[in-house]
Amino acid sequence: MKRTAYLAAACILLLLSRCKTEERLDHIDPDGPAPAQVNSIKSESKPGGAILTYKLPADPNLSYVKAVYEIQEGVFRESKSSFYTDSLKLEGFGDTKEYTVKVYSVGKNEKASEPVEVKVHPLTPPIESSFKDLVVDPGFGGIKIKLKNEFAANMAIVIMADTVGNDVLLPIQTFYTKTIAGTFSVRGLSSTPKKFSVYLRDRWNNKSESLVKTITPLFEQKVPKPFKGLKLPTDEYEPVESQYPVDRMWDDKVDNGVFASRHNTNTPQWFTFDLGRPVVISRMKMHQRHPDYTYTGANVKRFELWGTNDPGLDGSFANWKLLGTFKSFKPSGLPLGRATAEDNNYGHTQGEDFELEEIPLAYRYLRFKTLETYGGGSQITIAELSFWGKL
């Protein structure tokens, strides 16, 4: 036994003596020259940028190609592309002036060639083309901004206002978007004339001109709760279980449960309720079920809102007026089953706003008609519904 132990110990010592840190095999020659320059450079103008194409040198030391350019005074950007491709994307220009771009070939040892200079002429940047179509109008409790963004560029809509009447414009809200077309509303302001300024900003801090207007926000107030369910013959108001009644939607408590219809129902389905008085509806807010379920399952994806002052007793739509068709918005754009903290906050905690495109007549009775849920099933769930307008 002792002999065996000695032999084992000797083998371990022998192995340890042979284990040493191997030197890294480095195939990069630090003293090698910089690679040859690219050649035959061509520039294709793009909105706010350009695409450079070129011929690569037949140099085994080439690692990548780099372009360096100034987008604003003292602000430089770099664009890089490996030796597997023959093009570079330049972006971040805020106007259509001529710019000088320096293109370098960079070796595996990070040595750069002498630059090749090329002139580029960007097309009108997205913030400028979008600004031409920017519309700012009075909205309920504030202003309504309509934006067209043909190239789906990332941009910020910066809103400033003189809210105290001292002729000083201060930032009050900023929207970040890349939607092709959208409407954005600023709310919570009194119905008195105010000077507003709106401009667009891209992610390179280029800014458009400012659209300055004096606007009087339309008066609105929150419709008092609770409402009252009418439960007409064609309505779907029976809950899947007793703890999910229709009245949960207007108890003014977002986290106090939900209305959940039965599983064996059909879509579209609707329910009807009484606001208690005629109201000119300006907008509504819907809170989805608890954050663990936002943008999935029985949460409402598409719906219609109808209004009347004479609902009739047969439950038909004969006396009803369509006030609007709406689709839920998911900020992250992630596929079904995935949601971010921003999604949960928007869809459940803060609630999703839906604004009526046209100002309707005053209606006392509303009907909520679900067209589609996120999960595609027939059951619907809603945590809370709120409305604003003029009583």
- pLDDT for 143-152, tens place per residue? 999 999 999 9
Residue 158 and residue 199 in contact, taking contact as beta carbons nearer than 8 Å: yes
Assess whether pLDDT exceeds 80 at residue 40. yes
Phi, psi for residue 348 in degrees, rounded to 5: -115, -60
The Cα–Cα gap between 331 and 296 comes to 14
- Considering only CA atoms, which of 119, 134, 48 is closest in space to residue 89? 48
Q: Does 8 or 187 have the greater pLDDT score?
A: 187
pLDDT, one tens digit per residue, over 328-376 is: 988 888 899 899 898 999 999 999 999 888 878 999 999 999 999 999 9
Residue ranges and CATH numbers for the domains of the chain are 39-120 (2.60.40.10), 126-219 (2.60.40.10), 222-390 (2.60.120.260)
pLDDT, one tens digit per residue, over 108-139 is: 999 999 999 999 999 999 999 999 999 999 98
Of 6-20, 206-220, 331-345, where does the model show the most confidence? 206-220
Q: What is the mean pLDDT of residues 206-218?
A: 96
Mean pLDDT taken over the chain:
91
Q: What is the mean pLDDT of residues 253-260?
A: 94
What band does 8 get if pLDDT is binned at 50, 70 and 90? low
The predicted structure's pLDDT at residue 62: 95
What percentage of the chain reaches a pLDDT higher than 90? 79
The predicted structure's pLDDT at residue 223: 97
Residues 6+ apart with CB under 8 A from 111: 32, 33, 34, 35
Q: 79-85, long-range: CB within 8 Å, 24+ apart, which pairs?
A: 83/56
Q: Bridge-partner residues for 176, per DSSP?
A: 156
What percentage of the chain reaches a pLDDT higher than 70? 93
Assess whether pLDDT exceeds 50 at residue 285. yes
What band does 188 get if pLDDT is binned at 50, 70 and 90? confident
Residue 306 and residue 367 in contact, taking contact as beta carbons nearer than 8 Å: yes
The predicted structure's pLDDT at residue 111: 95
Assess whether pLDDT exceeds 70 at residue 158. yes
Assess whether pLDDT exceeds 90 at residue 79. yes
Q: Bridge-partner residues for 285, per DSSP?
A: 353, 386
DSSP secondary structure of 310-355: ---SS--STT-EEEEEEE---TT-PPTT---HHHHIIIIIS-EEEE
The predicted structure's pLDDT at residue 292: 86
Q: What is the mean pLDDT of residues 207-233?
A: 95
Assess whether pLDDT exceeds 60 at residue 298. yes
The predicted structure's pLDDT at residue 6: 54
Q: What is the mean pLDDT of residues 217-232?
A: 94
The Cα–Cα gap between 113 and 67 comes to 12
The predicted structure's pLDDT at residue 141: 87
C-alpha gyration radius of the chain: 31
Assess whether pLDDT exceeds 70 at residue 24. no
Instruction: For residue 222, give both structure tokens.
Output: 């929150």
Q: Which residue intervals of the chain are DSSP H helices?
A: 2-18, 126-132, 341-344
The predicted structure's pLDDT at residue 3: 52
- Considering only CA atoms, which of 267, 237, 259, 263 is closest in space to residue 372? 267
Residue 159 and residue 195 in contact, taking contact as beta carbons nearer than 8 Å: no
Residue 380 and residue 260 in contact, taking contact as beta carbons nearer than 8 Å: yes
Q: What is the mean pLDDT of residues 43-49?
A: 97
Q: Does 307 or 360 have the greater pLDDT score?
A: 307
Assess whether pLDDT exceeds 80 at residue 264. yes
